[in-house]
Homo-oligomer: A and B are copies of this chain.
Amino acid sequence: MAGTDKQREMLAEGPAIILVEPQLGENIGMVARAMANFGLAELRLVNPRDGWPNEKARAAASRADHVVDAVKVYGDPAEAVADLNFVQATTARARDNFKPVRGPVEAAAGLRARHKGGQKTGILFGRERWGLTNEEVALADEIVTFPVNPAFASLNIAQAVLLMSYEWMKTAPEAAVLPEPPRQTPATKEHLSSLMDYLDRVLSERGYFRTEDKKPKMMDNLRTLFTRPGFTVEELAVLRGVLTSLEKFTPRKPKGLGKPGAGD
């Protein structure tokens, strides 16, 4: 971890880069280097195949040691984004879901605006071979795709990180303004995960998912539905209250009679 005040300041700037199950240390190192080139410093790894620390990563980072030294490792993607308010997922191909799809320029502008608004942001990058699963994409608020040559679309992971870092830095001079400064607290991914866990339980109990094999896709849809609005903590609390009311009380035993629900 670097020492000067100026560097520490630099470390705090900008979105976290989150690599899901990266395989090659060289790639992780090149990602760190690309981040350093464009002023990003927060690198998170989800289950790196060869463990961590990784000497090949350090070598490939070409002295971007402040990024390598600050790497955090997580056991699963949800955990890696839990403290963030806003997450983008990079994908090579269009997905069949409800999320907005952005190009890198637009995506970076969105990140910058939220960053200025005090939100913690991050960008998910998938495995070298096959990217992110639908479930992982469902963790994100938006999808980012790159305007690549359709005949040769496979972007190396370090290249993808480079482009997003570069576009991030390009937004720096401009005064991006958040449309409406939120008076409420943007929810973190953890808040949302908690709601999803709750829904999973109460809907499973009620046979909502019909069959087990349909459940993952249906949960993805639900996650997307509740992710897209970028709900605040306060809004999630209201939503939770509605759902709990439906879950715990009935017309015959409404709230106040005290029977069905353990508490509130």
How far, in whole Å, are A100 and B222 apart by their CA atoms in the complex? 24
Tell me the count of chain A residues lying within 8 A, CB to CB, of chain B: 82
Contact with B along A208-229 (1 / 0, CB 8 A): 1010000000000110010011
**Which of chain B's residues have a CB closer than 8 A to the CB of A250?**
205-206
Closest partner residue, chain B, to A224 (CB atom): B235
Partner of A225, one of B94, B102, B202, B238: B238
How far, in whole Å, are A241 and B206 apart by their CA atoms in the complex? 12
Closest partner residue, chain B, to A170 (CB atom): B147
Please tell me which stretch of A68-76, A81-89, A131-139, A152-160 contacts chain B, meaning at least 4 of its Cβ atoms lie within 8 angstroms of it.
A152-160
Q: Is the CB of B228 within 8 A of A182?
A: no
A98 within 8 A of B: yes
How far, in whole Å, are A7 and B176 apart by their CA atoms in the complex? 36
Q: Is the CB of A151 within 8 A of B10?
A: yes
How far, in whole Å, are A163 and B101 apart by their CA atoms in the complex? 21
Among A37, A102, A154, the one with the most B-chain Cβ atoms within 10 Å of its Cβ is: A37
Closest partner residue, chain B, to A169 (CB atom): B147
Q: Is the CB of B149 within 8 A of A39?
A: yes
A96 shortest CB reach to chain B, Å: 6
**Which of chain B's residues have a CB closer than 8 A to the CB of A100?**
181
5 shortest interchain CB distances as A-B pairs: A229-B229, A207-B254, A94-B179, A207-B255, A246-B246
A263 within 8 A of B: no
Q: Is the CB of A182 within 8 A of B96?
A: yes
A123 within 8 A of B: no
The interface of chain A, by Cβ under 8 A from chain B, is 1, 6-7, 10, 30, 33-34, 36-39, 62-64, 93-94, 96-103, 105, 145-149, 151-156, 159, 162-163, 166, 169-170, 175-176, 178-182, 184, 199, 202-203, 205-208, 210, 221-222, 225, 228-229, 231-232, 234-235, 238-239, 241-243, 245-247, 249-251, 254-257
Q: Is the CB of A1 within 8 A of B246?
A: no
**A-B CB contact pairs (8 Å), 13 listed:** A36-B152, A93-B179, A94-B181, A98-B235, A103-B178, A147-B166, A147-B175, A159-B162, A163-B163, A207-B256, A208-B242, A208-B245, A208-B249
**Which of chain B's residues have a CB closer than 8 A to the CB of A10?**
149, 151
